[in-house]
Structure 1
Amino acid sequence: MNLLLLLICTIWFSLIVDARLEKATLSNISGHLLLAEEEPTSHFSPMDAQSPGNSEVKIVHHQDLNKRVLIALIVASTVLGGLLLFLSCGWIYRHKKLRDSNGKNRMKTEEAAEGVPSSQVMVRYNTSRMGSRRSSVAIFDYELLEAATNKFSQSNDLGESGSGHVYKARFDEKLLATVKKLDDALPDDERKFDNELNWLSQIRHQNIIKLLGYCIHGKTRLLVYEMMRNGSLETQLHGPTQGSALTWHLRLKIAVDVARGLEYLHEHCNPPLVHRDLQLSNILLDSNFNAKLSNFGLAVTSGTENKDNIGLSGTAAYVAPEYILDGKLTDKSDVYAFGVVLLELLMGRKLVENKASAETENQSLVKWAMPQLIDRTRLPNVVDHVIRNTMDLKHLYQVAAVAVLCVQPEPSYRPLITDVLHSLIPLVPAELGGSLRVMEPVSSSH
């Protein structure tokens, strides 16, 4: 661009100089002609007779100047046109190259957002096999998943989830993921696979597991999720550590996270969605104990009826009574399951306790807990020993009251999950996502 401006200035400067020379020449010619006209005829001499010849020479010189100016203009116009054409071609080439570069960077950003680095994880977006619901989900090559899990070795087996095994997959030094593998999927398993793939490819929420991609290899079906380093809430609460890492405030934070995830499904999805399989094993925890809902294989739209067509969830003890009796399924069914989860967080007990006597039948936690929850004198004694005497008793009573409402047999008596969420947020410290301001550590003397 600077070169173009310099060339234009040079051309105009030449034209100005030529114009001034032309003006000076015309002035000289005019001067001579005026002198010739002013001199008296009596002084006319043979030498003066040559003046017309001199004037003629001057005129010829003026014509030559016009030709040079015309030639200069033609040359300058040609050079300028060629330069503009060259600059235009250069700009078009540069713009195209920049657009291609931006396109590649955008693809890398999208892959990074899904947790899959383009340099290591070679995924391909097969639009011919992906509908609108799956447009944001990657298709993984089976060989890649096999390599990342060390051929699905036992050392990478993280346990069972639903109808498949879950494996840890390492794609590079930084990226870890989990892979759920369904071998020789039966028709019911394949239906759950498609259902989960369709829902999770649409849902984006901080408290719902992120689906990175999937793979179909013969009769094998695989789903790839983000890694949740602290495993499931069931493992944390009933595993080797027996809930020792879960403080009172951390348990309430997990409950709030679960409620937020359910609120998104019930209030913000279109159509509203019922998870239908909420239980400890389907609540996963990341490295900071942020809770996310997983396993959407049984999820259905709210208002679905006829239990014979959609089947019961994995654990009957979490299923609301009205669904077992009448096949009715609404968002209040998830609220019931949430109440059971809240009871487990409070009590630290398994959902079904086996009595020592062989004559007694298994007793559900809900039936056992109800008398304890409504009696304030007995409630502190049945709280999990890990968190006992570490909370404000008023907060404990409030959480117990929420749990009692959630597990009411009559659906109309249960609160909406939004109301549950607003009841629990004030009990969670602000640094954990709530609104409670903790001024000083809670005394253990309560």
Structure 2
Amino acid sequence: MCVPFHVPSILHVFIETMKMKLLFMFFLIPHKPIWILASIVDPLVPSPQISPILTSIAVSASSPDIHVGDEHQNMDSHMKKVMAFVAASTGLGAIILCLLSFWIFYIKYSSKSKKKNLQNSDGEKGLRLVPFLSKFSSVRLVGKKGCVPIIDYKQLEKATGNFKESNIIGEGGFGCVYKARLDDNLDVAIKKLNCECQYAEREFENEVDLLSKIQHPNVISLLGCSSNEDSRFIVYELMQNGSLETQLHGPSHGSALTWHMRMKIALDTARGLKYLHEHCYPAVIHRDLKSSNILLDANFNAKLSDFGLAITDGSQNKNNIKLSGTLGYVAPEYLLDGKLTDKSDVYAFGVVLLELLLGRKPVEKLTPSQCQSIVTWAMPQLTDRSKLPNIVDNVIKNTMDPKHLYQVAAVAVLCVQPEPCYRPLIADVLHSLIPLVPVELGGTLRVSQVTQQPKNSS
């Protein structure tokens, strides 16, 4: 890091140093009138007009046995030496100042040129991170700090069949997600953002900037990005089983998700959040955690996605952030007072956990003008052991140990507490879920120890 110099301060120190040197040298010259010393030490002070009579008196008084002519000659000799020294020092000082000015100019100029040339240096790093994209046309800096490969737009257009509707696998607030296959037979997902408004452009830059610096098994991998006119494109790894929302509330209604599979998805999601909250520096608050942003790969491993609204802790005043999020997942303190913390993500996780447990949407319409949240509906029944088994999703009803069911319900109740101080840290949630997930799915539970519970006769 370069520390800026204050040029006037350097000049002042230089002048003061020269004064001290001259003063020290003049003390070595005997019998000099004090006014001569003063005029040389500080050239801004004018020399007094001394008459020849006073000069003669001063010389005679100081050295009565020496002739006046010799004294003048001796003084002239010393004055020549002094003037030569002053001239040399002035020239040396001018050279030093010129070098210093040139050095400061070089530092400023080089810092600007580095910014312009980052596409060359940082681009090579980006290509090394994603070797299969090395054949694409160019790489440049995207966002504030991160660097990612830039894929040529023509490649994306070809891979998606000119963005055919049949290739759409998801939709978002600013565009659609397409399934695509690149030239090397790599299947990817391409999110197309219509950035005609500044919010979409801001979300694009924010997501690319964050994902370029995040690497975790439970966070979606960023492979590259592109742009064309008012559209922006983000290329991710393809998640074959789509989103958790599609699995739970789509045509299959969660039929592919067993109890243990749902607990694995909850555990993976908690691990991803723990990484964002405790292992990223500065910490990252997702701010838009929901079932549609939890993606599932071919083995139903869950990964967090869509970081357009995410913020880093300390990057801005979280109390003054524009309210954003999805109804049903937004924490009460953020919705009412605009207060945003990592506990806001914990609340959203609690809602996702209720979706996995109950198979219901976060917000359901009772009438055209009236809605009910899953939290409001479920809270009175989650704490009643006699009612809890009756509200569990029919797909998984009576397929789990009742103790495990009560434990998951207790964790969900804590996560959706109205007061953030009563909610647990995501690390505590993680430790509570690990014993409920079979070893082969990433937990510590021995499935052989779990007995199948008979269905209730009721």
Contact 1:163 1:182 in 2 (8 A): yes
Among 365, 370, 374, the alignment partner of 1:354 is 365
2:138 corresponds in structure 1 to 124
Q: 183-192 or 109-118, which moves further after superposition? A: 109-118
1:133 to 2:142 alignment: no
Post-superposition offset of 1:131? 7.1
Post-superposition offset of 1:413? 0.2
Post-superposition offset of 1:437? 1.0
> Which one has the largest radius of gyration?
1
Post-superposition offset of 1:366? 0.2
Post-superposition offset of 1:351? 1.2
Post-superposition offset of 1:422? 0.3
- Cα separation, 2, equivalents of 1:198 and 1:401: 37
Residues 374-389 of structure 1: pairs in structure 2 closer than 5 A: 374-389=383-398
- Specify the code of the residue in structure 2 equivalent to 1:412: C
1:396 to 2:405 alignment: yes
SS, match of residue 448 in structure 2: coil
SS, match of residue 362 in structure 1: strand
Among 301, 310, 323, the alignment partner of 1:290 is 301
Superposed CA deviations along residues 343-391 of structure 1, whole A, max 9, x for unmatched, are 0000001111222x56x72111000000110000000010000000100
Normalised by the size of structure 2, how large is the TM-score? 0.69
- Cα separation, 2, equivalents of 1:198 and 1:213: 11
2:322 corresponds in structure 1 to 310
Among 181, 201, 214, the alignment partner of 2:212 is 201
For structure 2, which runs of at least 5 residues remain unmatched after alignment? 1-122
Contact 1:165 1:182 in 2 (8 A): yes
1:432 to 2:441 alignment: yes
SS, match of residue 385 in structure 2: coil
> 1:245/1:173 Cα in 2 relative to 1: closer, same or farther (>3 Å)?
farther
> 1:117/1:187 Cα in 2 relative to 1: closer, same or farther (>3 Å)?
closer
For structure 1, which runs of at least 5 residues remain unmatched after alignment? 1-106
- Cα separation, 1, equivalents of 2:185 and 2:340: 42
Contact 1:230 1:289 in 2 (8 A): yes
Residues 165-180 of structure 1: pairs in structure 2 closer than 5 A: 165-172=176-183, 174-180=185-191
- Cα separation, 2, equivalents of 1:302 and 1:318: 20
1:185 to 2:196 alignment: yes
- Cα separation, 2, equivalents of 1:108 and 1:436: 44
- Specify the code of the residue in structure 2 equivalent to 1:361: Q
- Cα separation, 1, equivalents of 2:137 and 2:251: 37
Contact 1:162 1:295 in 2 (8 A): no
- Specify the code of the residue in structure 1 equivalent to 2:275: Y
What's the C-alpha RMSD, in Å, of the aligned pairs?
2.2
- Cα separation, 1, equivalents of 2:188 and 2:137: 14
Post-superposition offset of 1:125? 2.4
Post-superposition offset of 1:161? 2.2
Post-superposition offset of 1:110? 7.9
1:408 to 2:417 alignment: yes
Contact 2:240 2:297 in 1 (8 A): yes
- Cα separation, 1, equivalents of 2:172 and 2:212: 19
- Cα separation, 2, equivalents of 1:113 and 1:286: 21
1:250 to 2:255 alignment: no
Post-superposition offset of 1:445? 0.7
> 1:405/1:131 Cα in 2 relative to 1: closer, same or farther (>3 Å)?
closer
Contact 2:321 2:338 in 1 (8 A): no
Q: % of aligned pairs identical?
A: 60
